[in-house]
Each structure stands twice: as structure tokens, then as C-alpha cells.
Chain A
Amino acid sequence: EDKVVQSPLSLVVHEGDTVTLNCSYEVTNFRSLLWYKQEKKAPTFLFMLTSSGIEKKSGRLSSILDKKELFSILNITATQTGDSAVYLCAVEKTGGGADGLTFGKGTHLIIQP
């Protein structure tokens, strides 16, 4: 059975801190790993990772994938209160599988002023 496990499940830090969110996975026919930010109802896309060791950056956010050890991390530097959200990791499969994305349970990040 495919699994995506995120840790920690919740995290409270102060504004300005750096955080690292973890995502490990066990899926057959891996194609890509995606990170989403969910503030209200609909997750919004952050990163798509397909290759090991190549860091993707967007402002204060960055992410990297390790396909050998089957995990990814999402880093947020100089956190702001607007970063407070649930961060979801999802894995996409290749080939004929049509089961969309397999999501983890998310990390609930709270940034205190």
C-alpha cells in the first residue's frame, strides 16, 4: 500500500525562525513529489520535485528530494505569520495508475509573532 508520511504533524515557532518539514514516502512507480500549502480549503501548489538532489527555491521556501532514501524536505527561512498553514506533501505515480495524488496528513505550522 502506498504511504506518504509527514513529520512533524504540528509545529509552533516564532517569527524569524527557520523550519524544516519532512515527507517520506513508499509508493510504487514514483513520478514526482509535490508540496502544497493549505490555508483555508483548497491546497495551493508550491513545488514539484522529480529529480534527486536538485533544490527548488521560491523566495524563502526551498525543497529538495532524495529518491534513494525516499524523502523530501521543505525549508522555510525567516518565517512570517503569513506562513502559518498546513503544508501537504503528495506523491504522483507514473504509468497507467489513475489514482491522482497520494497525500500525507500534513504538517500544521503555526508562526507566532
Chain B
Amino acid sequence: GAGVSQSPRYKVAKRGQDVALRCDPISGHVSLFWYQQALGQGPEFLTYFQNEAQLDKSGLPSDRFFAERPEGSVSTLKIQRTQQEDSAVYLCASSRNNLGTGSYEQYFGPGTRLTVT
């Protein structure tokens, strides 16, 4: 398929475990975003990549959250020592344009539902 894909779709982790969430953006898309969506809320921005450069990580809630996109395509969001409040759907989105070069549309993946027990 040509859309954004994420894996796993569901992840159950015990408190204290580390997790890694993967995002495959649309081929050729420059911008990649991670969002956290708690139950009943809109998605909240976590971090933004332009190609392999992480230009903004101001939304990451703590230093337990780490994201990378080493080759400018696939991205991984890692959460260390998971806590119950990390339970949420993690959405990845990609866009063909760089931010600031024109309005753009973000294409979202299906998300990963993380449940921390």
C-alpha cells in the first residue's frame, strides 16, 4: 500500500518495560510527525523530523521518550521504563513538504495502541 504504516498495531507492556514503535512514512515524504492521542482527546504533538533531522522534540513528555529517523525514512519512537500514563494511541504522520515551504497535508498512519499495565 502507499499509505503510512505503523507497527505493532497493539502493544501491551508491563510498567517499567521499554517499547519501540515503528513508523513507515509514505515514500519520498520529507516531514514526519509523531503524536500521542489519549482516550477521548485530540492528537498531541510529540516530535517532528525533516528528513533525518529531528527539528523539534518539544512535545516529548519526558526524557524517557526518544525518537529517531536515521536514514530519513523509517522512524522509531522509543519509550523507556514505561508508565501507566504512557498508555495511549501513538500516531505517525508524514507530509511531502518541509514545514514553512507551503501549506501541506499530513497523512496519518493507523496508530499503535499502547497499554501499560
Interface residues of A (CB under 8 A from B): 4, 31-32, 34, 40-45, 48, 50, 88, 90, 92, 94-106
- Given contact pairs A41-B110, A43-B108, A98 touches B56 in the complex (Cβ within 8 A): yes
Q: How long is the Cα–Cα vector from A96 to B93 in the complex, in angstroms?
A: 19
Chain B, Cβ-Cβ closest to A102: B45
B40, B99, B106: the one contacting A98 at CB < 8 Å is: B99
- Given contact pairs A45-B105, A106-B42, A100 touches B110 in the complex (Cβ within 8 A): no
Is B109 touching A99 in the complex (CB atoms < 8 A)? no
| Interface size grouping (class) on chain B | 20 to 34
Interface residues of B (CB under 8 A from A): 4, 33, 35, 40-45, 48, 50, 55-56, 58-59, 89, 91, 93, 99-100, 103-111, 113
Is A40 touching B110 in the complex (CB atoms < 8 A)? yes
Q: For residue A42, which residues in chain B have a CB less than 8 angstroms away from its CB?
A: 4, 91, 108-111
B17 nearest CB across to chain A (Å)? 22
- Given contact pairs A42-B91, A42-B109, A100-B48, A95 touches B100 in the complex (Cβ within 8 A): yes
- Given contact pairs A41-B113, A103-B44, A105-B40, A98 touches B55 in the complex (Cβ within 8 A): yes
Chain B, Cβ-Cβ closest to A103: B42
Is B103 touching A31 in the complex (CB atoms < 8 A)? yes
Q: How long is the Cα–Cα vector from A88 to B56 in the complex, in angstroms?
A: 23
B91 nearest CB across to chain A (Å)? 6
Q: How long is the Cα–Cα vector from A92 to B104 in the complex, in angstroms?
A: 9
Q: Can you report 25 residue pairs joining A to B where beta carbons are below 8 Å apart?
A: A41-B89, A41-B91, A42-B4, A42-B111, A43-B91, A45-B106, A48-B103, A50-B103, A90-B42, A92-B103, A92-B104, A95-B100, A98-B55, A98-B99, A99-B59, A100-B45, A100-B59, A101-B33, A101-B43, A101-B106, A103-B42, A103-B44, A104-B42, A105-B40, A105-B42
